[in-house]
């Protein structure tokens, strides 16, 4: 049976790869999406800086830092999901946001248990 800590560490890697892929390799899509939803460039850049910073924090050896990073991503993903719902997006469009919300919630709850 797999150890839960092993699974959480794997989930942290999944989050990191996904965030870096979306915010670096597919950045043009991010620009289009934020523009389509009417958000200003400064807001897009702020979200990107926060998401990348929180993602790096997931890999800290300090549990408190992991809690801050995972909670930060949970808040950002909750905002993304709620925005997609508010805008009437097709679920296929925002399923990745829901998945990231669930994954980072698991990481957050596991980190909270360690305190």
DSSP state of 3: -
Give every CB contact of residue 60 below 8 A, 6+ residues apart in sequence: 66, 69
Domain that residue 24 falls in: 4-113
C-alpha torsion angle, residues 92, 96, 36, 32 (rounded to 10): -120
64-88 residue pLDDT tens: 999 999 999 999 999 999 999 999 9
Q: Note the residue count of the chain.
A: 115
The pLDDT value given to residue 2 = 73
On whether the pTM is more than 0.85, the answer is: yes
15-56 residue pLDDT tens: 999 999 999 999 999 999 999 999 999 999 999 999 999 999
Q: How many domains, in total, are found in the chain? A: 1
9 closest CA partner among 73, 85, 72, 66 = 66
């Amino acid at each position: 049976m797999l150890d839960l800590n092993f699974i959480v560490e794997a989930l942290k890697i999944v989050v990191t790869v996904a965030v870096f892929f979306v915010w670096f390799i597919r950045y043009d899509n991010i620009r289009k999406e934020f523009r389509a939803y009417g958000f200003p460039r400064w807001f897009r850049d702020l979200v990107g800086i926060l998401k990348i910073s929180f993602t790096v924090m997931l890999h800290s050896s300090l549990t408190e830092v992991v809690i801050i990073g995972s909670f930060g991503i949970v808040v950002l993903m909750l905002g993304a999901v709620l925005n997609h719902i508010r805008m009437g997006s097709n679920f296929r469009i925002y399923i990745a946001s829901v998945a990231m919300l669930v994954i980072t919630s698991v990481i957050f709850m596991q980190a909270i248990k360690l305190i």
